[in-house]
Amino acid sequence: MGRALSWLRASLPLLGVISILTAQPALAVVVSTTQGNLTAPEDDFGFANVGAKGTTNGVYLGYRWVLTAAHVGAGSIILNGQTYEVEPGTDQVLLNPNYELYGMTQYTDLRLYRIVESPRLPVLSVASVSTPGNKEVILVGGGYDRESTLTMWNDPGDDQQWVETDIPPGDYRGFKRTSTQSMRWGTNKTEYVSSNFIVPTPNPSEGIYGKIFAQVTDFDENYGTAFEAQAMQKDSGGALFYKRNGKWELSGIISMVSYNPDTPGGAGNTAVFGQCATYYVDLARYQDQILDIITPMPGDATLDDVVDEEDSAVLAANWLKETTPEYTVLWEDGDFNGDGRVDDLDASILAANWGTAHETLGAAPEPASMILLLSGFLAMLAWRTRRRASRSS
């Protein structure tokens, strides 16, 4: 167990007060061992799905939906170098489940909104179970970069601010931030899971943004991971990923940081070993709510909440396309069953939901229409198959 965890546990009874006085909710990720990690690793967890949203971050879930911290607001997001605008009327703040039972606020620090175009990125898996303690995770954020050299401080005592020193080792060691920002990933290990924390506003007189069920990582020098990381200012809305049973899942959204109030520079401006931690909204507590909002109707390739001729045109345009190393077939191409191929199985899904709209999801289409549509697609499949066979002969 790292010394950071010991400090945090000692501070927990006062955390709500400490957060309001010394933490900023709007908090690239600082990585202790490198200033790199600016591109996806070989075992890609979904790095490209984390985008810059103004000076903060958002995570693209799929189906044109973006998840971020509620306190940073909705706004255009940059994904793969392209800017995507917010679809009007889609912005919504999520609720704490059973908030009265758990003594929570009604709303939590999570916000969902849809963008007007698809960035053609894969759908992320949202965790259904909280990440266990002492498990390695990856955090991603586009906040402030750190300085290239380590800073050391001595503690004069009497609750005074630490004094910077050039004489090693110093009482405390860590990194100051710069004025530049980068999207970066790092690693850490979870400490304790789904505790109840308050997300403060920058101005204490404005109260709080809401309570969250949180996962926590600390920032350790002696017990850390290979790319030990800590959130800084402007990392809010960034992501926490965990690999469960060989598959990556999105397990958290960066919400806030805590730090020792004697640290020079203020909240989120320094990352000091053993004296700060990152708090993430634990998405397992909100998965049902998220999926209820973002999951499209079966057969709705255009994501306009109705299954109609426009969706059949998309299916026809992408008929028999398959996922390759260079190209990923998505829901928006008509791959409704997620098997990486647009074929008769997807045509069956579209036909079974033909004519349904969001308000009437599950209503049966007219039998004649369904039979006609299925027959048409199966005929097209046979024609395409014969055409391919003639070309190869």
pLDDT at 179 > cutoff 70: yes
What is 185-211 written as a DSSP string?
EEEEEEEEEEEEEEEE-SSGGG-EEEE
Give the end of a domain, one of 247, 276, 291. 291
282 and 301, same domain (yes or no): no
Q: How confident is the model at residue 382 (pLDDT cuts 50, 70, 90)?
A: low
CATH number for 85: 2.40.10.120
What pLDDT does residue 28 have? 67
CA distance 326 to 343: 20
What pLDDT does residue 105 have? 86
210 and 158, same domain (yes or no): yes
61 and 198, same domain (yes or no): yes
CATH number for 381: 1.10.1330.10
213 and 327, same domain (yes or no): no
270 and 318, same domain (yes or no): no
Say which range, 95-99, 208-212, 234-238, has the weakest mean pLDDT.
Answer: 208-212
Average of per-residue pLDDT across 200-215:
66
Q: Name the percent of the chain in helix, strand, coil, to the closest 5.
A: 25, 35, 45
What pLDDT does residue 14 have? 27
Give the end of a domain, one of 258, 291, 324. 291
- Between residues 204 and 189, the one the model is more confident about: 189
Average of per-residue pLDDT across 272-288:
94
Q: Is the backbone peptide bond immediately before 88 cis, with ω within 30 degrees of 0?
A: no
326 and 211, same domain (yes or no): no
Average of per-residue pLDDT across 17-29:
43
- Between residues 25 and 350, the one the model is more confident about: 350
Split into its structural domains, the chain has a count of 2
87 and 222, same domain (yes or no): yes
What pLDDT does residue 187 have? 97
Average of per-residue pLDDT across 189-200:
70
Helix axes 344-352, 309-317, angle to 10 degrees: 180
A 10 A CB-CB count for 160 gives 9
319 and 281, same domain (yes or no): no
Give the end of a domain, one of 291, 325, 341. 291
What pLDDT does residue 232 have? 87
Range of the domain at 120: 3-291
268 and 324, same domain (yes or no): no
39 and 123, same domain (yes or no): yes
What is 19-81 written as a DSSP string?
HHHH--S----EETT-S---S--SS-SSGGGEEEETTEEEEEEETTEEEE-GGG----EEETT
Q: How confident is the model at residue 45 (pLDDT cuts 50, 70, 90)?
A: very high
277 and 312, same domain (yes or no): no
Reduce the DSSP state of residue 379 to 3 states and report it: helix
Q: Report yes or no: 108 and 286 within 8 Å, Cβ to Cβ.
A: yes
* 247-264 pLDDT, tens digit each: 999 999 999 888 888 988
Residue type, 340: G
42 and 8, same domain (yes or no): yes
What pLDDT does residue 198 have? 65
- Between residues 13 and 81, the one the model is more confident about: 81
